[in-house]
Amino acid sequence: MQEFTLISRYFAPLAQGFAGADGLRDDAALLTPPQGMALVATTDSMQEGVHFIGNEAPALLAQKLLRVNLSDLAAKGATPWCYLLNLSLPPACDEAWIADFSHGLAQDQARYGIVLAGGDTTNTKAGISLSLTAFGLVKAGHRLVRRCGAQVGDLLYVTGTIGDGYLGLKAAQGELAGVSEQDWLYLLGCYQLPEPKPELAIALVGLARASMDISDGLVQDVGQLCTASGVGAEVRAEDVPLSDAARRWQQVHPEKRMELLTGGDDYELLLAIAPENVKDVEALAASWCQPLTCIGVVVAERKLEIRDADGMPLQITQGGWQHHFGY
Ligand code: ADP
Ligand code: MG
């Protein structure tokens, strides 16, 4: 299929209603944020063989690509606005593949209130390469909630549950043993389709001193937040919230519990909350019926300690997910 046919048939409909995209007929899009608003930009890529296997449903890949970016916007308290999409596709990605991919995008555009503004499409002889740049809106002049704002005495909170994405990845790789079929499907779903909750995130982040999304493993990401803020943290492993499925897995593999805290793909929020805001933050989460759990505290000493139920420090075997470069 011709590139132009592909764009007009499958991508132009996704840009409908966004005047600055001009129906994807021009060289570039014009981004004019609404009056009084500033742009927050983030970008994330997914490569076949690194971030996904390649046999996933295209719609699921599209939704995950969009959602990992929405998770970053949410962590900065930004409202989703528009996005740019870069695709490098091998010949095996035929029209049916693109139709399904764009269908996934359409579904999540409606769900999250975001619209396509432009992109680029190329052929490749290598694996599928997907990249998305998302723009969100915050009030102009408003101080962005960064990773670096945590202060000694702040309480560390996480949204949702931790470790499901990691177990779901193991399921996708055929390496998840000792769980029921129902749990297996639930965990795989968590990996394939994380669920950022922008509206709740925006409200929570507004009450936080520091925030970030948890994507590379809780332990590593707490470490990142602490490093950025020039502080340390004590985390209580027992208090890290687990889903019922992850809890059942942990009962079968008690020696592997640390893996849930170091594995990636959670796409939940990590927040540092000043003690005076704890009540409001907890009331907010309760009014949304969303889990929000205090897992530890920010300390002055620049260390990261994960403690068991008896207060004994646990050995951190693996920091979390990092790409390794050949230089
Ligand atoms: P250029 O030659 O300037 O790179 P293209 O022919 O690649 O322009 O793109 C034409 C239009 O189609 C542009 O508006 C571009 O943003 C849009 N476009 C191309 N690929 C995509 C894509 N994957 N998703 C969204 N828009 C796309
Ligand atoms: Mg182009």
Secondary structure (H, E, C), the chain: CCHHHHHHHHHHHHHCCCHHHHHHCCCCCCCCCCCCEEEEEEEEEEEECCCECCCCCHHHHHHHHHHHHHHHHHHCCCEEEEEEEEEEECCCCCHHHHHHHHHHHHHHHHHHCCEEEEEEEEECCCCCEEEEEEEEEEECCCCCCCHHHCCCCCEEEEECCCCHHHHHHHHHCCCCCCCCHHHHHHHHHHHHCCCCCHHHHHHHHCCCCEEEEECCCHHHHHHHHHHHHCCEEEEEHHHCCCCHHHHHHHHHCHHHHHHHHHCCCCCEEEEEECHHHHHHHHHHHHHCCCCEEEEEEEECCCCEEEECCCCCECCCCCCCCCCCCCC
C-alpha–C-alpha distance, residues 257 and 212, integer Å? 23
CA 75 to ligand 1 center in whole angstroms? 29
Q: Which of 120, 123, 124, 133 to mutate to test the pocket of ligand 1 (most atoms within 8 A of CB)?
A: 120
Give nearest CA residue, ligand 1 atom 12. Answer: 24
Q: What is the pLDDT of residues 35-50, one digit of tens each?
A: 999 999 999 999 999 9
CA 17 to ligand 2 center in whole angstroms? 21
Give the end-to-end CA distance of the chain in Å, rounded to a whole number.
Answer: 39
C-alpha–C-alpha distance, residues 305 and 154, integer Å? 15
Predicted pLDDT at 91? 95
Residue 11 Cβ contacting ligand 1 at under 6 Å? yes
Predicted pLDDT at 87? 98
Is the distance from CB of 205 to CB of 269 less than 8 angstroms? Answer: yes
Predicted pLDDT at 318? 63
Residue 121 Cβ contacting ligand 1 at under 6 Å? yes
CA 10 to ligand 1 center in whole angstroms? 12
Looking at this protein, which amino acid is placed at residue 313?
A: P
Of 70, 71, 83, the residue nearest 20 (C-alpha): 83
Predicted pLDDT at 53? 87
C-alpha distances in Å from residue 297, one per residue of 22, 93, 231, 271, 272: 49, 48, 10, 11, 8
Residue 130 Cβ contacting ligand 1 at under 6 Å? no
pTM: 0.95
Residue 85 Cβ contacting ligand 1 at under 6 Å? yes
Average pLDDT in the chain: 95
On the question of pLDDT at 320 being above 60, the answer is no
On the question of pLDDT at 325 being above 60, the answer is no
Predicted pLDDT at 203? 97
Predicted pLDDT at 3? 84
Q: pLDDT category, 326, cuts 50, 70, 90?
A: low
C-alpha distances in Å from residue 105, one per residue of 1, 24, 68, 121: 20, 16, 13, 15
| Nearest atom, ligand 1, residue 85 CA | 24
Q: What is the pLDDT of residues 198-232, one digit of tens each?
A: 999 999 999 999 999 999 999 999 999 999 999 99
- Give just the sign of the alpha carbon dihedral 53, 252, 289, 283: negative
Q: Which of 7, 82, 105 to mutate to test the pocket of ligand 1 (most atoms within 8 A of CB)?
A: 7
Q: Which residues contact 15 (CB under 8 A, 6 or more apart)?
A: 21, 23, 24, 115, 116, 117, 118
Residue 30 Cβ contacting ligand 1 at under 6 Å? no
| Nearest atom, ligand 1, residue 27 CA | 3
List, in sequence order, every residue forming a beta bridge with 269; answer none if it has no partner. 213
| Nearest atom, ligand 1, residue 21 CA | 14
Residue 10 Cβ contacting ligand 1 at under 6 Å? no
CA 237 to ligand 2 center in whole angstroms? 48
Predicted pLDDT at 2? 82
Of 231, 255, 240, the residue nearest 304 (C-alpha): 231
Ligand that comes closest to the CA of residue 84: 1
- Residue appearing with tokens 């936080």: 208
Q: What is the pLDDT of residues 228-274, one digit of tens each?
A: 999 999 999 999 999 999 999 999 999 999 999 999 999 999 999 99
Residue 122 Cβ contacting ligand 1 at under 6 Å? no
Q: Which of 87, 89, 121 to mutate to test the pocket of ligand 1 (most atoms within 8 A of CB)?
A: 121
Q: pLDDT category, 315, cuts 50, 70, 90?
A: confident
C-alpha–C-alpha distance, residues 270 and 185, integer Å? 26
CA 28 to ligand 2 center in whole angstroms? 10
Q: Supply φ then ψ for residue 222, to 5 degrees.
A: -60, -40
